């Protein structure tokens, strides 16, 4: 059925996207022009907040009927941390999900990480400002050689956290705060403060910056076209030095100039992407288990993944856990009456159900986490080979990959562009 619908969409031209700017029809530069599942996105600027009076971008999805806000975070990582520090951060992540569930507003917490090939833009600007013309020629040559070699072998990590609130939940609270976008902004600001405190506390984030509309547009544009980052950074640095340069990316140009959905990959501008989804195994996963997925294999390759935590409401979680516990007790009683031996798998499943019910009864949130991984490479190389390497990296991490064929555009939007889009659908629970 999915293949038939995809074929019909291809014949009808629904899988091809051409931006209005590429056709010379971009009349409103502030209007969002994005492909696929991002077509219903609208960006609002919230009221000034904080010492810098920043206007945080509020993401409204008219199709999914949700509101979202995205923060860029800086984290020292866990590569050199001991077992105690990792356990503390894992507990901090669990506390973040529990806290989001207790708000009864946040429907989903999305963690997105991108490893972008290093372009050396900041280093070039630093050298331009600090290099002395009378410096030793040999030292200059050595520094240039080191910069050229290390830039090709280096990657830059970008991390984002997005909270998603359904319109059905935020509407009532917004009426008490002033209605409209202003009322919803006040509600979102309160949720953002709670999440930021938990990110800096339990998870150990060094900095949490809620993105404004221009910053979010840059993150969106570099998601579709990683090669554009160097030019954007040069413009931002020039504007910071007082030069008359347009550094902002208009939302009408934040997306790709053209995008095509192919059955086996997603084509956007001069890049191709392949995505795969993974499910948390029954035995669980340790913190940092997805690190091998972010390791690129060739220069110019970008890896990214999204870890989504859809949070069930307390009432729905209570019904599900009660139903599962009743089924486990009924099955155990029938096996005992029939004098059937319970296997280890059955006993473990029953114990897991009872442990889940005990945690839910004590106030813990119930979530079904999943992840989406994406590899992006230029069109000059074979994307199928890099898709195979992505699958191999996922298996080395201890997970089983599932290629999201026929729906790579949705997977790309979820795992690369931090606009609050995920694979979660209404009624999945």
Within 10 A of 43 (CB to CB), how many other CB atoms are there? 19
Question: Does the pLDDT at position 406 exceed 70?
Answer: yes
Residue 279 has pLDDT above 70, yes or no: yes
- Give Cβ neighbours of residue 119 (< 8 Å, ≥ 6 apart): 151, 227, 229, 230, 233
pLDDT band with cut points at 50, 70 and 90 for residue 428? very low
**Given 3-state DSSP classes, what are the helix, strand and coil percentages for the chain, each rounded to the nearest 5?**
45, 20, 35
**Secondary structure (3-state) at 362:** coil
**Interval 69-106: pLDDT, tens:** 999 999 988 877 888 888 889 899 989 999 998 888 99
Confidence of residue 52 (pLDDT cuts 50, 70, 90): confident
Q: What percent of the chain has pLDDT over 70?
A: 95
Residue-wise pLDDT for 292-307, tens only, equals 899 888 888 999 999 9
**Residue 12, pLDDT score:** 67
Task: Tell me the residue ranges of DSSP E strands in 16-154.
Answer: 16-18, 41-45, 57-61, 66-74, 108-117
pLDDT of residue 135: 81
Average pLDDT over residues 275-298: 84
Residue 158: what pLDDT? Answer: 92
263 pLDDT higher than 90: no
**CATH code for the part of the protein at 2-116+157-228+251-312+367-416:** 3.40.462
Closest CA to 200 of 91, 55, 75: 75
Q: Helices in 341-380 by DSSP H: which ranges?
A: 344-361
Residue 308 pLDDT level (bands cut at 50, 70, 90): very high
**What is the chain's alpha carbon radius of gyration, rounded to the nearest angstrom?**
24
Average pLDDT over residues 317-338: 78
Between 123 and 384, name the one with better pLDDT: 384
Q: How far apart are CA 112 and CA 103, in angstroms?
A: 22
Looking at the predicted structure, is the pLDDT value of residue 322 above 80? no
The closest of 163, 161, 69, 159 to 114, measured between CA atoms, is: 159
Q: Among 166-180, 223-237, 358-372, 392-406, whose mean pLDDT is lowest?
A: 358-372
CA distance linking residue 262 with residue 9, whole number of Å:
11
Tell me: pLDDT of 35 over 60: yes
3-state secondary structure of 149: helix
Sequence-distant (≥ 6) Cβ neighbours of residue 137 within 8 angstroms? none
- Summarize the confidence of residues 348-354 as an average pLDDT: 77
Q: Which are the contacts of 286, defined by CB distance < 8 A and separation ≥ 6?
A: 86, 90
Q: What are the residues facing 325 on neighbouring strands?
A: none
Q: What is the pLDDT of residue 21?
A: 87
pLDDT at residue 47 tops 70? yes
pLDDT tens-digit readout, 116-167: 877 777 777 778 878 888 888 888 888 888 888 777 767 888 999 999 999 9
pLDDT band at residue 178 using 50, 70 and 90 as cut-offs: confident
What token pair was written down for 180? Answer: 């409209």
Q: Please state, rounded to an integer, the average pLDDT across all residues of the chain.
A: 86
Beta carbons within 8 Å of 392's beta carbon, 6+ residues apart: none
Determine the Cα angle at 188 with ends 183 and 194, to 5°.
Answer: 140
What's residue 361's pLDDT?
72
State the average pLDDT over residues 172-193: 88
Q: What is the per-residue pLDDT for 167? A: 92
Cβ-count burial 370-396 (b if 16+ within 10 Å, e if not): bbbbbbbbeeeeebeebbebbbebbee
In this predicted model, what pLDDT tens digit does every residue of 198-251 receive, in sequence order?
999 888 899 999 999 999 999 999 999 988 888 888 888 888 888 888 888 899
pLDDT of residue 305: 93
Q: What pLDDT score does 429 carry?
A: 37
CB-side neighbour CA atoms (13 Å) of 391 = 11
The per-residue pLDDT for 221 is 93
Name the H helices within 134-247.
137-153, 167-177, 180-201, 213-224, 229-240
């Amino acid at each position: 059925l999915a293949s038939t619908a995809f074929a019909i969409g291809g014949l009808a031209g629904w899988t091809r996207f051409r931006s209005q700017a590429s056709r010379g029809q971009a009349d409103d530069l502030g209007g969002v022009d994005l492909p696929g599942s991002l077509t219903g996105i609208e960006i609002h600027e919230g009221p000034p907040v904080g010492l810098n009076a920043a206007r945080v971008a509020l993401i409204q999805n008219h199709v999914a009927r949700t509101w979202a806000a995205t923060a860029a975070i800086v984290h020292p990582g866990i590569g050199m941390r001991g077992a105690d520090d990792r356990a503390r951060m894992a507990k901090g992540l669990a506390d973040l999900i529990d806290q989001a569930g207790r708000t009864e507003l946040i429907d989903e917490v999305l963690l997105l990480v991108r490893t972008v090939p290093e372009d050396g833009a900041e280093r070039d600007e630093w050298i331009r400002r600090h290099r002395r013309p009378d410096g030793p020629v040999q030292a200059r040559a050595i520094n240039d050689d080191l910069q050229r070699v290390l830039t090709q072998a280096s990657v830059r990590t970008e991390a984002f956290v997005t909270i998603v609130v359904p319109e059905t939940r935020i509407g009532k609270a917004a009426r008490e705060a002033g209605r409209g976008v202003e009322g919803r902004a006040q509600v979102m600001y309160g949720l953002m403060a709670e999440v930021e405190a938990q990110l800096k506390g339990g998870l150990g984030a060094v900095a949490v910056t809620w993105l404004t509309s221009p910053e979010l547009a840059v993150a969106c544009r570099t998601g579709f076209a990683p090669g554009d980052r160097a030019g954007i950074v040069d413009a931002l640095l020039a504007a910071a030095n007082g030069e008359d340069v347009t550094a902002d990316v208009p939302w009408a140009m934040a997306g790709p100039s053209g995008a095509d959905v192919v059955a086996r990959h997603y084509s956007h501008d001069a890049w191709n992407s392949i995505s795969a989804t993974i499910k948390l195994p029954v035995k669980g996963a340790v913190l940092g288990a997805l690190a091998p997925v972010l390791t690129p294999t060739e220069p110019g390759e970008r890896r990214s993944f999204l870890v989504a935590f859809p949070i069930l409401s307390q009432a729905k979680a209570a019904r599900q856990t009660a139903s599962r516990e009743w089924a486990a007790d009924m099955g155990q009683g029938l096996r005992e009456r029939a004098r059937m031996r319970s296997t280890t798998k059955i006993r473990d499943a029953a114990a897991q159900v009872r442990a889940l019910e005990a945690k839910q009864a004590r106030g813990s949130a119930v979530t079904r986490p999943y992840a989406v991984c994406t590899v992006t490479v230029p069109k000059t190389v074979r994307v199928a080979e890099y898709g195979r390497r992505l699958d191999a990296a996922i298996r080395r991490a201890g997970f089983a990959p599932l290629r999201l064929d026929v729906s790579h555009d949705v997977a790309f939007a979820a795992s690369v562009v931090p606009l609050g889009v995920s694979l979660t659908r209404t009624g999945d629970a």
